[in-house]
C-alpha cells in the first residue's frame, strides 16, 4: 500500500492552513492520542474495565475536519469514534466517565463506550451497528435543509461499513435530496479482522460512490493539510447547498480491532511502515520543520493536554456508578408508559 501521510511534507498543500488552525489541530490530535494512551495504560493496569476500540493512527481525520465545524453542526460516529467525539468537543471528563460506566458520563453510564452522545456539542449518535448511523445522518442533514440553516452533518464510518445495505440506502437518498452531509469513510484497511481486498472487488470506493451522483474523492487521511483542504471543500459545498460529499480518508488501524485483540492477520511490514509514519509524531515534525512552530509551544500543549486527560480520568474514577433507580428511567419520556 502507499503509506498514508507520506505526502505531507509538501508545503504548498497547506496554503489555507493558518498557524493557529495548525496548532489547534495539533492540540486535538494530541488530546486524542494521550486519552488513548491513558486509557490503555489504565486497562493494562486493571485500573478500570471497558471494551476499547483503539483509534491510534486515525487522529488526523477528525482533527482536520473538526477545524471546519461549528458547535451546532451535527456528527454521527461509531464504536470506534472516540477521536471523532473529542474533535467535536464532547467534554473529556463526561466522555471518559461514560466509557467507565459512571453516572457523570454523557449517558449516566447507561450507554457505554459504543454509545457516546452529547447534543450540546453536536455529537448526536454513536452506534455499535455497522452502517446503522448513516440513514440517521441523512435525517440530521435533512433537518438543516428543511429549517434553512447552514448546519452540516458529518457521518463517520469504516471501510467495512461500505458493504452493508444501510450505507447504500443512505448514500442514494442523500444524493437524491442533496442534503448537507459529508460521508467520512475512515478507511483503515480492515473491517474487524478482514482486509479490504478480502471483502470487495471495488477498485476505488470514491469511484463507487460517484455512482450515486454525488461528489466523491479519496484523500490521505493521515496528511493534515490534505485532509484539511478536502474537508474545507466538502463542508463548504454542503453549507452552500451543494449537497453531500463522500470522502474516502485513507489511514491505517495501528492496532488490533480492540484493545488486546490479535493482529496476527495483519501484514507486519505494512504495520511497521504505518507505525513508523504514524500521524501524530509525523504532524508534530512537520509543524516544526515545515511550519516553523517552536518545539516548546508543542511541548507546552502536550503538557496541558496530559493534565486535562489525567483530570478527566481522575474525575471518572471518582464518580459513582448509576444508581439502581436509573434502570428503567429514559425508556420513555413518561415512566408510567413502561409495562409492568
Query: Pattern 214-243, binding to another protein, x per CB under 8 A?
Result: ------------------------------
Q: Is the dihedral of CA 75, 80, 85, 90 positive or negative?
A: positive
Which one of 94-102, 106-114, 185-193, 260-268 is the stretch in contact with Mg ion (CB under 5 A)?
A: 185-193
242 binds its own copies (CB under 8 A): no
Exactly one of 170, 274, 280, 298 binds another protein (CB under 8 A); that residue is 170
The Cα–Cα gap between 235 and 62 comes to 13
310 binds another protein (CB under 8 A): no
Q: Strand 245-250 and strand 74-78: pairing?
A: unpaired
φ, ψ of residue 333 in degrees (nearest 5): -55, -40
- Write out the three cell numbers for 123: 455529537
- The answer to whether 154 and 74 are in contact (CB under 8 A) is yes
- Contact residues toward ligand TPP (CB under 6 A) are 80, 128-130, 157-161, 188, 190-192, 253
Q: From the CB of 328, what's the least distance to ligand TPP, in Å? A: 26
147-166: which residues touch its own copies (CB under 8 A)?
Answer: 163-166
The Cα–Cα gap between 322 and 325 comes to 8
196 binds its own copies (CB under 8 A): no
Residue 143 binding target from another protein, Mg ion, ligand TPP, none, CB below 5 to 8 Å by type: another protein
Number of residues that bind another protein (CB under 8 A): 81
Closer residue to ligand TPP, CB minimum distance, 52 or 157: 157
Query: Pattern 117-156, binding to another protein, x per CB under 8 A?
Result: xxxx---xx-xxxxxx-xxxxxxxxxx--x------x---
- Which CA distances in Å does 244 have to 67, 132, 237, 279? 19, 18, 8, 27
Query: Pattern 260-289, binding to another protein, x per CB under 8 A?
Result: --x-xx------------------------
The Cα–Cα gap between 102 and 113 comes to 11
The Cα–Cα gap between 13 and 256 comes to 32
3-state secondary structure at position 41: helix
21 binds another protein (CB under 8 A): no
Exactly one of 37, 198, 267, 310 binds another protein (CB under 8 A); that residue is 198
Q: From the CB of 149, what's the least distance to its own copies, in Å? A: 23
49 binds another protein (CB under 8 A): yes
207 binds its own copies (CB under 8 A): yes
Q: CB nearest ligand TPP: which residue?
A: 158
Q: Is 131 left (phi over 0), alpha (psi -120 to 50) or beta?
A: left
Residue-by-residue DSSP string for 131-175: TTHHHHHHHHHHHHHHHT----EEEEEEGGGGGSHHHHHHHHHHH
Closer residue to another protein, CB minimum distance, 168 or 210: 168
Number of residues that bind its own copies (CB under 8 A): 23
Q: Which residues contact 133 (CB under 8 A, 6 or more apart)?
A: 76, 77, 78, 125, 126, 127, 155, 156, 157
Residue 80 binding target from ligand TPP, another protein, its own copies, none, CB below 5 to 8 Å by type: ligand TPP
89 binds its own copies (CB under 8 A): no
Exactly one of 3, 48, 163, 291 binds another protein (CB under 8 A); that residue is 163
β partners of residue 182: 154, 245
Alpha-carbon 10 to chain mean position = 25
Chain residues in the site for its own copies (CB under 8 A): 163-169, 172, 175-176, 199-203, 207-214
Chain residues in the site for Mg ion (CB under 5 A): 158-160, 188, 190
Amino acid at each position: 500500500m502507499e503509506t498514508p501521510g507520506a505526502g505531507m511534507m509538501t508545503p504548498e498543500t497547506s496554503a489555507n492552513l493558518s498557524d493557529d488552525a495548525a496548532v489547534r489541530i495539533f492540540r486535538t490530535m494530541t488530546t486524542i492520542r494521550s486519552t488513548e494512551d491513558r486509557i490503555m495504560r489504565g486497562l493494562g493496569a486493571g485500573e478500570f474495565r471497558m471494551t476499547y476500540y483503539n483509534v491510534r493512527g486515525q487522529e488526523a481525520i477528525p482533527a482536520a475536519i473538526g477545524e471546519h465545524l461549528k458547535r451546532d453542526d451535527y456528527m454521527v460516529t461509531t464504536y470506534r469514534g472516540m477521536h471523532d467525539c473529542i474533535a467535536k468537543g464532547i467534554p473529556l471528563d463526561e466522555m471518559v466517565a461514560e466509557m467507565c460506566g459512571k453516572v457523570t458520563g454523557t449517558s449516566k453510564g447507561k450507554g457505554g463506550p459504543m454509545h457516546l452522545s452529547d447534543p450540546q456539542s453536536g455529537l448526536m449518535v454513536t452506534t455499535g451497528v455497522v452502517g446503522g448511523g448513516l440513514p440517521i445522518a441523512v435525517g440530521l442533514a435533512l433537518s438543516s435543509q428543511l429549517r434553512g440553516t447552514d448546519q452540516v452533518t458529518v457521518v463517520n464510518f469504516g471501510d467495512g461499513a461500505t458493504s452493508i445495505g444501510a450505507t447504500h440506502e443512505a448514500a442514494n437518498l442523500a444524493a437524491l435530496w442533496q442534503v448537507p452531509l459529508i460521508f467520512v469513510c475512515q478507511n483503515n484497511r480492515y473491517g474487524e479482522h478482514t482486509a479490504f481486498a478480502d471483502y470487495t472487488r471495488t477498485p476505488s470506493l470514491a469511484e463507487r460512490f460517484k455512482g450515486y451522483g454525488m461528489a466523491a474523492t479519496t484523500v490521505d487521511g493521515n496528511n493534515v493539510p490534505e485532509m484539511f483542504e478536502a474537508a474545507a471543500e466538502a463542508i463548504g459545498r454542503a453549507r452552500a447547498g451543494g449537497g453531500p460529499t463522500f470522502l474516502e480518508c485513507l489511514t491505517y488501524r495501528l492496532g488490533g480491532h480492540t484493545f488486546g485483540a490479535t493482529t496476527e492477520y495483519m501484514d507486519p511490514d505494512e504495520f511497521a511502515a504505518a507505525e513508523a509514519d504514524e500521524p501524530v509524531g509525523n504532524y508534530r515534525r512537520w509543524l516544526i520543520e515545515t511550519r516553523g512552530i517552536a518545539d516548546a509551544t508543542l511541548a507546552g500543549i502536550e503538557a496541558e493536554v496530559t493534565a486535562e486527560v489525567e483530570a478527566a480520568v481522575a474525575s471518572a474514577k471518582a464518580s459513582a456508578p448509576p444508581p439502581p433507580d436509573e434502570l428503567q428511567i429514559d425508556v420513555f419520556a413518561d415512566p408510567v408508559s413502561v409495562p409492568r
